[in-house]
Amino acid sequence: MDIVYIFKALTDENRIRILNLLRSGELCGCDIESVLGVKQSNASRHLNRLKIAGIIVSTKKLHWVYYRFNSSIFQKFPFHSIIINDEIGKVSVCKEDLELLKKIKAVVYLAIEDRSSVIITNRRCLFWKTPLYQNYLF
């Protein structure tokens, strides 16, 4: 984690918007794409730049990649916390993004025949919930 990479990563509006979205917690790449209104390749490029800078980390779960803040960045560079928590929220497009994220994260519950299974859909992500396979992601 070099401070130069961190400052370079913070120079793009889409990357600032991504950091704003991640303030709410870990997110799937498909949610980030949906909120930003960009294609997967464009979102991946921005997310990769943030990963190279050490600002975020990712976890792959089957077909989806989930992103979150790298917690050590806040310890090594305390100014980062000030930027993320105090300044980004003041940007009007970031406020709009958070509202859109709430709508996208809204889930639709569909009862299956025996009502012991529930499908939860979140746009492109599909979850199958049963007592045996709780939160199993397909």
Q: Report CA 130 to chain centroid distance, whole Å.
A: 26
Please answer whether residues 13 and 60 qualify as being in contact, where contact means their C-beta atoms are separated by less than 8 angstroms: no
In this prediction, residue 85 carries a pLDDT of 80
Residues 60 and 90 both lie in one domain: yes
In this prediction, residue 1 carries a pLDDT of 59
* CATH number of residue 99's parent domain: 1.10.10.10
Reduced to 3 states, what is the DSSP secondary structure of residue 113? coil
Closest Cα to residue 24, out of 65, 61, 67?
Answer: 67
Residues 58 and 117 both lie in one domain: no
Residues 25 and 41 both lie in one domain: yes
Residues 18 and 71 both lie in one domain: yes
Residues 86 and 112 both lie in one domain: no
- The range of the structural domain enclosing residue 100 comes to 3-105
The CA distance from 12 to 50, in Å, is: 10
Residues 39 and 82 both lie in one domain: yes
In this prediction, residue 36 carries a pLDDT of 94
- pLDDT per position as a tens digit, 85-111: 888 878 889 999 999 998 877 743 333
What is the total count of domains within the chain? 2
73's tokens = 């960045």
In this prediction, residue 16 carries a pLDDT of 94
Angle between helices 40-52 and 29-36 (to 10 degrees): 110
Residues 126 and 65 both lie in one domain: no
Residues 87 and 128 both lie in one domain: no
Residues 24 and 68 both lie in one domain: yes
In this prediction, residue 2 carries a pLDDT of 79
* DSSP-derived secondary structure letter, 55: S
pLDDT in tens, the chain (138 residues): 578 888 888 899 999 999 999 998 999 998 999 999 999 999 999 999 999 999 999 999 988 899 999 988 888 888 888 888 888 878 889 999 999 998 877 743 333 444 444 444 444 444 444 444 444 444
Residues 74 and 11 both lie in one domain: yes
In this prediction, residue 138 carries a pLDDT of 41
The CA distance from 6 to 19, in Å, is: 12
Q: Which strands form 27-28's sheet, in the order they lie side by side?
A: 27-28, 64-69, 56-61
The CA distance from 58 to 51, in Å, is: 8
The CA distance from 53 to 122, in Å, is: 29
The CA distance from 73 to 79, in Å, is: 10
Residues 70 and 116 both lie in one domain: no
Residues 86 and 127 both lie in one domain: no
